[in-house]
Amino acid sequence: MAAIRLSKTVWIAFALLNALLLALIVFLLQFRAERIELAVLDDLGAVVYPEPLPLAEFSLGDQSGRPFDLDRMRGAWNLVFFGFSNCPDMCPLTLAQLESFYRDRPESAQPSLKVLFVSVDPADTREIIGAYLQGFHPDFIGLSGTPENVNAFAGQFFVHTGMDESTAHGGHSPPADSPEGFASHSIHIGVVGPAGELVGLLRPPHRAADIARALQMIFHRA
């Protein structure tokens, strides 16, 4: 009887050891797959946070004059880009890539997505922003507000804004024909999930194909 009990104990210990080894192998495989996926995202210019960052309430307005707050972001994915209508290079280049990505994006089996352009220039009225975005895609939402509200919103995306003739814009010097100052701002794109949380950032240079691939991976991870 003692030999039988010992045999059972050995088999139980052996089974537990096998289960632990299997769990360790699964963990290591998942860890390796996670590292590979993050490396691919990094190559595409995407940074994904380990835990999404909840956005605080904010108050802006869109190009049609409607209030725009956090509730209007919830329920869909949002790509948030900060710029201004008189931007000579990086803003139109980025918006052109966003337009190309958005236009070629298949509608079937795709989560709802909005592209938000937030002006950091107080001189950009909603009419100016609306006309500016018509040159890219009519679905794009243009946002503006008081400097305080825009800066508070931008800060949640780690975007610095300002009007400073001495500050380079996206690595480029201010144009000579900009007598009223030159708006400085960061040029990454914020990725906000349907829960109203900042999931990650897309770094420049922005390319439509890379945006599409990165977002597919981010959607799959969500």
Query: Are 185 and 169 within 8 A, CB to CB?
Result: yes
> Residue 145: what pLDDT?
96
Q: Which residues contact 11 (CB under 8 A, 6 or more apart)?
A: none
Q: Which secondary structure element, helix H or strand E, spans residue 43, and what is its range?
A: helix 2-43
Locate all alpha helices (DSSP H) within 44-157, ordered by sequence.
Answer: 90-104, 126-134, 147-155
**pLDDT at residue 110, rounded to an integer:** 79
Do 173 and 106 sit in the same domain of this protein? Answer: yes
Of the candidates 137, 129, 128, 138, which has an alpha carbon nearest to the alpha carbon of residue 82? 129
Q: What's the pLDDT score for residue 40?
A: 86
Q: Are residues 27 and 115 both part of a single domain? A: no
The region that residue 99 occupies, defined by phi over 0 for left and psi between -120 and 50 for alpha, beta otherwise, is alpha
Looking at the structure of the chain, the number of domains it has is 2
Number of Cβ within a 10 Å radius of residue 2: 6
Residues 85 and 159 grouped into a single domain:
yes
Averaged over successive runs of 10 residues, the pLDDT of the chain (222 residues) comes to 62 64 52 67 92 97 98 98 92 96 84 96 96 97 96 92 48 38 67 97 95 94 84
pLDDT of 162: 64
Residue 183: predicted pLDDT? 44
Residue 52 phi, psi dihedral angles, 5° rounding: -60, 150
Same domain for 111 and 26: no
Burial of 3 (0-12, 13-18, 19+ CB in 10 A): exposed
**CB proximity list for 15: less than 8 A, separation 6 or greater:** none
User: Are the CB atoms for 189 and 202 separated by under 8 Å?
Assistant: yes
Give pLDDT, residue 186: 72
The pLDDT score that the predictor gives to residue 39 is 85
Do 8 and 77 lie in one domain? The reply is no
User: Is there a single domain that holds both residue 64 and residue 121?
Assistant: yes
**Residue 28: predicted pLDDT:** 40
Residue whose tokens read 């240079």: 205
Please, are residues 202 and 218 in contact by the beta-carbon 8 Å criterion?
no
Domain of residue 146 covers 47-221
Q: What is the pLDDT of residue 13?
A: 63
Q: End-to-end alpha-carbon separation of the chain, Å?
A: 54
Residue 173 belongs to a domain with what CATH number?
3.40.30.10
Nearest alpha carbon to residue 104 among 21, 25, 216, 26: 216
On whether the CB atoms of residues 73 and 192 are closer than 8 A, the answer is: yes
What are 47's strand-pairing partners? 201
Residues 195 and 100 in one domain: yes
